[in-house]
A and B are shown apart, each in its own frame.
Chain A
Amino acid sequence: MGDPKLQTSAPDDDIAKMTQCDAALTEHPAAHSSDVFRIDGLNVAYGNRPALRDVNLSVRCQRITAIVGPSGCGKSTFLCVLNRLTDLIPGCQVSGRVRLEGEDILSREYDVFVLRRRVGMVFQKPNPFALSIRRNLALPLKEHRVAANEIDGIIELSLRDVGLWDEVKDRLDQSALELSGGQQQRLCIARALALQPEVILFDEPCSALDPLAGSVVEDLIRELQERITVLIVTHNLAQARRIADDVAVFWHGDGTGTVIECGSAADVFESPTSEITAAYVAGARG
């Protein structure tokens, strides 16, 4: 707990933390204490090949931050840094500072197990486990030592949160793979929500779904923002316009991605400072 504002709050109580975060926002609107993530001088390389260079970004609490930009500019890599999925990639080197509420998550001492509970992730392709709907939600909960008698309640709550409860309550013990693509994606969101994370990272969550299912998921993400900080990578600028509070534009120069512009959605879309951004949001490039 590096941030002095948070030292008084119980570290395990997410709700308390969030209220704290809000209070900080009203008291010091200019201060950075409302930032969930602060990323300074982040560099990522796969072996000798740099993927991200000098990324600086702050992610505001309980806002939707959209990450946009052309393919191959490191957007997904960036997301994976935030919950250290980059650890899984052999030869991937991450340097710089990434602080989650003041704590450096890149330090060796930081427990990834805790990090991944605090920072959930939903992928492009729905990826439920080949287990029953119930076990899909229960397995991570058990892994995080949630008491057995609480699990059923959390499962119902999480499924209600994603609007799936009424659709699946009678077949919780059937395979999750029998659900439709959109339902599977909502199940994956419920699975992430069940762990009560502070942040959820979405990596193009709608692009593998049909438009209708995609818009259901999009609405869902918008509702989540009331409780959770959302980072979403999207290729769909219209989607970013619809849901994002803040936007970060990634671009690649010399094969390396970096942030060329970030700010509130209104600023980035209406009065971009960079020419590249202006052309990109106007649909001229990328």
Chain B
Amino acid sequence: MKQSRSNSWLNGDRWLERLLRLAAAMSGCLTLLIVAFVFWQALPALRDPGVARFVSDSVWRPTDETAPQFGMTPMLVGSGLVTLGAVLLATPLALFSVIVAEFYSSRTLAWLLRRVLELLNGVPSVVFGFWGLVVLVPLINAWHPPGQSLLAGILVLTLMLIPTVALATDASLRAVPNELYRSAAALGIGRGAVVWKLAVPLARRGMVAGVLLGAARAVGETMAIVIVCGNIVQMPDSLFDPVRTITANIALEMGYATSGHRAALFATGLLLMLTSSLFVAGAGLLRRRRGRR
């Protein structure tokens, strides 16, 4: 009796395992299918006009009937600058706010700071974009028209990246074992040295991983960028010039794109996917190594 009961329990477990495996396989396959689909759709553009013309063509005029032009250098630069600027601004802000929460504030303040970061993380990007358009863009416009600009994009994106970088960094700082603080205190080591010479170096990998995750998010961000960047395809001369990013370009043109134009957009999508997976993979690698240690 007992035997058969435990058997049926085992069978139930086996079924559950199969179900879980199926679910896992499905989500894995779907991801692969999406990648394959994007690649397949991009393939015509990769063959003709080919990747080289994406950078060598001087203008972006993919809809031209006679001689379509596929120069997307200004958009690549736009994406790169927005990402770089936001990462450069968000990283120190996020690191300092986390270090303040962890080491230099009361429990209440630290709690409050963490909740605010989590809240910020949950704000939809369209809301950030809307806020940027209504508040930030007029301010920049008053300073240096037109307002919708590279700078607006960088600032809005910075706000969005702070929680991403901060929460990942916070996790890695919290993983620093408590014993470290105890043994340092027992040696009479002051807070400054504990923070900067012991805890931060230990958490460094996790911090860099957080920055990479932030960069991955920045590269892919679309909605807020479309709203505040002005979307003019041009090489920006200053922070106040409007720019169009790769993501914004896809969002703006996908609706009406056909054949070669459409394939070119898919090719840029493929590029975005590659870039952000590289960042995510880098972050994963750093975290895994840290775990092993």
Contact = CB atoms under 8 A, between A and B. Distances in A.
Interface of A: 83, 85, 87-88, 90, 112-117, 120-121, 123, 125, 127, 129-131, 139-140, 142-144, 177, 188, 191-192, 195
B206 to A, nearest CB: 13
B180 A83 contact: no
A140 B187 contact: yes
Chain B, interface SS category = helix
B112 interface: no
* Most chain B CB within a 10 A radius of its CB, from A85, A115, A127: A127
B291 interface: no
A125 B180 CA distance: 11
B202 to A, nearest CB: 6
Interface in B61-112: 107
Nearest to B192: A143
B185 A140 contact: no
A192 B183 CA distance: 10
24 contacts: A83-B186, A85-B185, A85-B186, A88-B181, A88-B185, A90-B107, A112-B188, A113-B190, A116-B187, A120-B187, A121-B183, A123-B183, A123-B186, A127-B179, A127-B183, A129-B180, A130-B198, A139-B193, A142-B193, A143-B187, A143-B189, A143-B190, A188-B183, A192-B186
B198 A120 contact: no
Interface of B: 107, 179-190, 193, 197-198, 201-202, 293
Scoring A125, A130, A177, A192 by chain B CB atoms within 10 A of each residue's CB, the highest score goes to: A130
Nearest to B198: A129
A125 B179 contact: yes
Given A139-B193, A139-B197, A85 B182 contact: yes
A140 B183 CA distance: 11
Given A139-B193, A139-B197, A143-B193, A117 B182 contact: no
Contacts of B193: 139, 142-143
Nearest to A140: B187
A234 B98 CA distance: 39
A128 to B, nearest CB: 8
A237 B189 CA distance: 33
A145 to B, nearest CB: 11
Given A85-B182, A123-B179, A123-B182, A130 B201 contact: yes
B197 to A, nearest CB: 6
Nearest to A112: B188
A54 to B, nearest CB: 26
Contacts of A143: 187-190, 193
Contact of B188 (A88, A116, A123, A130): A116
Contacts of A191: 187
A130 B197 CA distance: 10
